[in-house]
């Protein structure tokens, strides 16, 4: 019961923050896109009136699309950038995916497809990743699945050892 109350409170706080962005004139596109492995991934695209660049944020393990990105999102929006946040597989309260090794790497292909459909890949964009998100960025750039003009990697794990409880 206490967990549900905490989740509801977190959801209320997020909604207040997102509403304040709308009130400040930013456009918000919230929704889901399909994963080729099944399930739906939640995303939020926040854009100022005249966005010059897009920054895509990749959260870390155990977090969700907004993670603790709010201060960074505010700074990026203040500098005229648009921001795209999305849930990694197996994360987030409204996404319906499972974190599985092969499917995880494929998630970058699905993100690229989503960027193309939304016409977000027509202009230069940058990727910012934390922990597991940083690993996905590295894989995506080296495999040329995503083609950003800049990347920022934070707390990149050198090695991850997982228990049998992890679906790997």
Query: Each residue's pLDDT tens digit in the chain (168 positions)?
Result: 676 776 777 778 888 999 999 999 999 999 998 888 888 888 999 999 886 799 999 988 878 888 789 999 999 999 999 999 998 877 677 776 666 666 777 889 989 999 999 999 999 999 999 988 998 999 899 999 999 999 999 998 877 665 555 444
CB neighbour list of residue 106: distance below 8 Å, 6 or more residues apart: 35, 36, 37
Dihedral over alpha carbons 113, 114, 117, 119 (to 10 degrees): -110
CB neighbour list of residue 63: distance below 8 Å, 6 or more residues apart: 91, 130
For residue 108, which of 159, 47, 62, 41 has the smallest C-alpha distance?
A: 41
| Cα–Cα dist 31/62, whole Å | 20
| Cα–Cα dist 118/83, whole Å | 13
For the question of whether the overall pTM of this predicted structure is more than 0.85, the answer is yes
Alpha-carbon distances, residue 131 vs 11, 96, 114, 141 (angstroms): 24, 21, 23, 16
């Amino acid at each position: 019961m206490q967990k549900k109350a905490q989740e509801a409170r977190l959801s209320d706080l997020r909604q207040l923050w997102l509403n304040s962005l709308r009130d400040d004139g930013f456009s918000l596109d919230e929704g889901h896109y399909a994963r080729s492995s099944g399930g739906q991934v939640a995303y939020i695209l926040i854009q100022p009136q005249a966005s010059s660049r897009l920054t895509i944020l990749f959260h870390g393990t155990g977090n969700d699309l907004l993670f603790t990105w709010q201060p960074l999102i505010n700074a990026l929006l203040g500098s005229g950038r648009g921001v795209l946040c999305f849930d990694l597989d197996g994360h987030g309260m409204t996404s319906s995916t499972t974190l599985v090794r092969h499917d995880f790497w494929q998630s970058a292909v699905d993100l690229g497809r989503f960027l193309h459909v939304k016409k977000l890949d027509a202009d230069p964009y940058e990727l910012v990743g934390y922990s597991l998100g940083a690993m996905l960025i590295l894989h995506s750039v080296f495999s040329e699945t995503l083609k950003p003009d800049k990347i920022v990697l934070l707390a990149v794990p050198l090695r991850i050892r997982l228990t049998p409880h992890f679906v790997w």
